[in-house]
Amino acid sequence: MAIAQFVVNGLLVGALFAAVAVGFALIWGVVDIINLAHGEMVMLGGYTAYWLLSIATGTAEGSVLLFLATLPVVVVVLFVVGYALQRALVSRVIGTDIFLTLLVTFGISIAIQQLAIQAWTANPRSIQVAFADPSLIVAGLVVPKMKLVAFFGAIILTAILYLFLQRTRTGRAIRAVSQNPEAAALVGIDVEHTRAVTFGISSAVAGGAGAFIATILNIEPQMGLIYTLKSFVIVVFGGVGSIPGALTGGLLLGTVEELTAGLVSSRWTLAVSFTLLIVLLVVKPQGLFGTEAEE
Amino acid sequence: MSTESDDNGLLRSVLPPERVDQLFDLCGAHGWKLILASAVVGALPPLFGLREGYMMTVISEMFLFAILALSWDIVGGQTGYPSFGNMAFFGIGAYTGAILLKDFAVSFPLAVVSAGVFATVFAAIIGLIVLRLRGHYFAIATLGVLLAAQQISRNLEITGGASGKILFDVPPGVVFYYFFLGVLVAEIIVVYYLSSTRFGFILNAIRDDEGKATAMGFNTTYYKTAAWMLAALFTGLAGGAYGLFNTFIDPQTAYNGAWNVELIAMALMGGTGTVAGPVIGAFGLHTVIEYVETAFVGWQLVMLGLAVIVTVIGFPKGVVGTLREYANEMDYYERGGMAATDAAADGSGGSDVAASTTDAADSDADTEVTRDE
């Protein structure tokens, strides 16, 4: 029974990991950049929601509806941040050495993280969402309500992104640029703008996931790198450019982490995640759902 | 691609490109003497009374960072495998040294040597796994190695867990000063020597086009792993002494993520793929960071992040690479387009020493700049 509980916990958290990873995979697929500052977008999303609630209520507490009301603002703010980062900095290294693209996003990551420490201190914070009654109990398994809200929130964010890419004109432009930037430019797509929009959307989804993370886990300025690496694990597992793959990967990673925490010790979760990363890279770099690795 | 503006008249009149070119030739011709002279100059301060205090520590740290940056460059710059996890070797070395010193009461020299050996063995094992990967995958895998090592050290008993290890009986600062200087000079000699050997050329060939290097019959895995182990040896030696130097290590300081970026930034700012570049970069950036750390407490990492962004976007060839490009700018007119491309490729990646551009222009070596693939 305990194991079933760990699996449920894992799936609930895993959906958030998946939502973060989907944005990471999108930038990787479309702009061909590993965005090492992706985790910082999660962090900024969490803090934006935290401060919005603090301004609205005086403390970082509130009802579910009030929290959900902050989400559109978080998404817009993070879209702007992502768009600006791509336009101002990342676009300057596209097409150069892979190492330089990694390093520039690493630099952005450190700068944002350290500025956040200066602005908000390194203390962990969290958003307290008030519910009238305690957790749901389904077939003997405890399901905290906020985790359930976060789970569906993450799934909805991922689904919106998927539909956006499939159904809208901008989404089609993004997929075109991902397949062939030159051809996309030939048919009149503004490649630079499309890439920046991709960066913005990816950051917005990460930020939205970050807001949910603030309600069920902690947020702190230095949390970013861990989420970036988790995203990498998930994307490598699911395959670059596969949203269903990323979703599966996220749920699986969440489950593995919760099982480790429950059966061994919560101190070992990160060690297991990172070891899993190396093992996956070596054993199956093309992912389970992906078509092939580029290199 | 030149980052120097073309109408930079003042610079041109004070320091014409030909003069810089001559300077490079001079350094190339007298490389060994230059290294010897630098080593002697480096050894002087303690003899003239600088035996302890703040300056002593800062200069020792400069040597330490130069070791780390140059080690990174053996694999990251010379071989074209930019690692984001070099601090893993440092951490392994630091823990090996600390555990041997504290729990097994081993003497300092033996502990340091063991630290180097341990780090090298660790690199051999990890290298066989991660050096099979390339590009993004390699970079992230090395970052994963660093973080996994950090997490494992945090959870084990023998490493003292999250609280780390405090070390006593610390030798005087002069010992560390000469130790770090000694390791640095040894490493410079090794890297400089290798840069004109077959081994060094093969590393550069792997960087420029690993497929072609393999096609020419080189066992690239062997060379990559050897370079990787060499980098780990020097990093591990430095780490082994660091525990005692700092009197304390924990997972956060031993596998310091910020340092990991710092040493990459140093190599990049000085000029990757050169001997002098990483050393110059380490001395320069550490001075700046040390200044920011005292003048604006807490802002040094913000500055580091911004410095990395500016360097990558502004002058990714670093000091040495940019100077070389400036020195070679007339090649295009004197020797034709291909020679200029060749020289530029040399400047960005070629060895700092002895790699005379005339040789490159005369020989019909492949002139493709394949590094950007």
Domains along the sequence of chain B with CATH? 9-362 (1.10.3470)
Q: Is B128 on the interface with A (CB under 8 A)?
A: no
Q: Is B304 on the interface with A (CB under 8 A)?
A: yes
Helical H runs in A98-144?
A: 98-120
The counts of H helices and E strands in chain B are 19, 2
pLDDT of residue B132: 84
Contacts of B182 (CB under 8 A, 6+ apart): none
| A284 — pLDDT class (breaks 50, 70, 90) | low
Is the CB of A98 less than 8 angstroms away from the CB of B306? no
The CA distance from A282 to the nearest CA of chain B, in Å, is: 7
b (16+ CB within 10 A) / e for B166-191: ebeeeeebbebbebbbebbbebbeeb
Residue B331 has pLDDT above 70, yes or no: no
**Which is more confident, B356 or A60?**
A60
Residue A200 has pLDDT above 90, yes or no: yes
Neighbouring C-alpha atoms within 13 Å toward the C-beta of A116: 27
Q: Which residues of A touch B132 (CB under 8 A)?
A: 282
Least confident of A104-118, A167-181, B346-360: B346-360
Task: Give yes or no for a contact between B210 and B220, defined as CB atoms under 8 angstroms apart.
Answer: yes
Question: DSSP 3-state assignment of A138?
Answer: strand
Kind of pairing, strands A136-138 and A128-129? unpaired
Residue A295 has pLDDT above 50, yes or no: no
A129 strand-pairing partners = A62
pLDDT of residue A242: 75
Q: Which long-range contacts (CB under 8 A, 24 or more apart) does B365-371 make?
A: B366/B209, B366/B212, B367/B338, B367/B341, B367/B342, B368/B209, B369/B341, B369/B344, B369/B345, B370/B208, B370/B209, B371/A97, B371/B80, B371/B207, B371/B208, B371/B345
Task: Give yes or no for a contact between A94 and A33, defined as CB atoms under 8 angstroms apart.
Answer: yes
The CA distance from B273 to the nearest CA of chain A, in Å, is: 13
Calculate the alpha carbon distances from B23 to B19, B323, B328 in Å: 6, 10, 12
**Which is more confident, A277 or B347?**
A277
Tokens of B318: 């670093």
Task: Give yes or no for a contact between B92 and B118, defined as CB atoms under 8 angstroms apart.
Answer: yes
Mean pLDDT (whole number) for B241-252: 89
User: Can you spell out the DSSP letters for B35-88?
Assistant: HHHHHHHHHHHHHTT--SSHHHHHHHHHHHHHHHHHHHHIIIIISS---S-THH
Highest mean pLDDT of the ranges A62-71, A162-171, B165-174: A162-171
Asked, for residue A27, whether it belongs to a domain, the answer is yes
Round the average pLDDT of chain B to a whole number and report it. 82
Residue A139 has pLDDT above 80, yes or no: no
Question: DSSP 3-state assignment of B329?
Answer: coil
Q: Measure CB to CB from residue B312 to each of A103, A225, A270 and give the nearest one.
A: A103
- For tokens 């993280």, name the residue: A113
The counts of H helices and E strands in chain A are 11, 4
CATH of the domain at A189: 1.10.3470
Which of B153, B312, B370, B372 to mutate to probe the A interface, most A CBs <10 Å? B312
Asked, for residue A45, whether it belongs to a domain, the answer is yes
**Which is more confident, B263 or B328?**
B263
Q: Nearest CA to B241 among B168, B300, B176?
A: B176
Asked, for residue A204, whether it belongs to a domain, the answer is yes
| B337 — pLDDT class (breaks 50, 70, 90) | low
Residue type, B64: L
Tokens of B249: 């290590």
Q: Which residues of A touch B137 (CB under 8 A)?
A: 236, 281, 285, 293, 295
Round the average pLDDT of chain A to a whole number and report it. 86
Q: For helices A98-120 and B300-314, give the axis angle rounded to 10 degrees.
A: 150
- Tell me the per-residue pLDDT of A234-278, one tens digit each, with 9 for 90 and over: 888 887 777 888 888 899 999 999 898 888 888 888 888 888 888
Mean pLDDT (whole number) for B133-138: 82
- Tell me the per-residue pLDDT of B49-72, one tens digit each, with 9 for 90 and over: 777 778 888 999 999 999 999 999
How far apart, in whole angstroms, are the C-alpha atoms of residue A19 and residue A266?
23
Q: Nearest CA to A41 among A207, A205, A228?
A: A207
How far apart, in whole angstroms, are the C-alpha atoms of residue B309 and residue B372?
19
Q: Measure CB to CB from residue A92 to each of B145, B307, B313 and give the nearest one.
A: B313
Task: Give yes or no for a contact between A172 and A55, defined as CB atoms under 8 angstroms apart.
Answer: no
pLDDT of residue B14: 75
Instruction: Work out how many domains chain A is built from and give that number.
Output: 1
Residue A70 has pLDDT above 50, yes or no: yes
Residue B119 has pLDDT above 90, yes or no: yes
pLDDT of residue A287: 56
Q: Nearest CA to A4 among A140, A205, A195?
A: A140
Asked, for residue A289, whether it belongs to a domain, the answer is no
Q: Which residues of B touch A106 (CB under 8 A)?
A: 84, 261, 308
Residues of A with CB under 8 A from a CB of B: 28, 34, 89, 92-93, 95-100, 102-104, 106-115, 117-118, 225, 229, 232, 236, 265, 267-268, 270-271, 274-275, 277-278, 281-282, 285, 293-295
Asked, for residue A96, whether it belongs to a domain, the answer is yes
- Tell me the per-residue pLDDT of B31-44, one tens digit each, with 9 for 90 and over: 888 888 888 888 88
Mean pLDDT (whole number) for A143-164: 89
C-alpha radius of gyration, chain A, whole number: 19
- Tell me the per-residue pLDDT of B264-321, one tens digit each, with 9 for 90 and over: 999 998 988 888 899 999 999 999 888 888 888 888 888 888 888 988 888 888 888 8
Secondary structure of chain A: what % helix, strand, coil (to 5)? Answer: 75, 5, 20
- Tell me the per-residue pLDDT of B161-176, one tens digit each, with 9 for 90 and over: 778 888 887 888 888 9
Can you give the pTM of this predicted structure?
0.84
Neighbouring C-alpha atoms within 13 Å toward the C-beta of A118: 14
Maximal CA-CA distance, chain B: 66
**Which is more confident, B75 or A273?**
B75
Task: Give yes or no for a contact between B273 and B350, defined as CB atoms under 8 angstroms apart.
Answer: yes
Residue A144 has pLDDT above 90, yes or no: no
pLDDT of residue B178: 92
Mean pLDDT (whole number) for A77-86: 94
Q: Nearest CA to A275 among B145, B91, B123, B128?
A: B145
What is the domain range of residue A161? Answer: 2-283
Q: Search chain A and give the residue with CA nearest B259.
A: A110
pLDDT of residue B341: 53
Q: Nearest CA to B322 among B266, B262, B269, B245?
A: B269
pLDDT of residue B112: 93
Is the CB of A104 less than 8 angstroms away from the CB of B302? no
Task: Give yes or no for a contact between B246 and B170, defined as CB atoms under 8 angstroms apart.
Answer: no
The CA distance from B264 to the nearest CA of chain A, in Å, is: 9
- Tell me the per-residue pLDDT of B194-236, one tens digit each, with 9 for 90 and over: 988 999 999 999 988 888 988 988 888 899 999 999 999 999 9
| B371 — pLDDT class (breaks 50, 70, 90) | very low
Q: Is B211 on the interface with A (CB under 8 A)?
A: no
How far apart, in whole angstroms, are the C-alpha atoms of residue B332 and residue A128?
66
Asked, for residue A292, whether it belongs to a domain, the answer is no
Residue B153 has pLDDT above 70, yes or no: yes
A271 strand-pairing partners = none
Asked, for residue A293, whether it belongs to a domain, the answer is no
Q: Nearest CA to B138 among A47, A131, A277?
A: A277
The CA distance from A88 to the nearest CA of chain B, in Å, is: 11
pLDDT of residue B360: 38
- Tell me the per-residue pLDDT of A117-132, one tens digit each, with 9 for 90 and over: 999 888 888 888 877 5
Q: Measure CB to CB from residue B152 to each of A89, A232, A271 and give the nearest one.
A: A271
Calculate the alpha carbon distances from B284 to A107, B279, B301 in Å: 18, 9, 16
Asked, for residue A290, whether it belongs to a domain, the answer is no
Residue type, B183: V
E strands present in A3-68: 61-62
Task: Give yes or no for a contact between B339 and B358, defined as CB atoms under 8 angstroms apart.
Answer: no
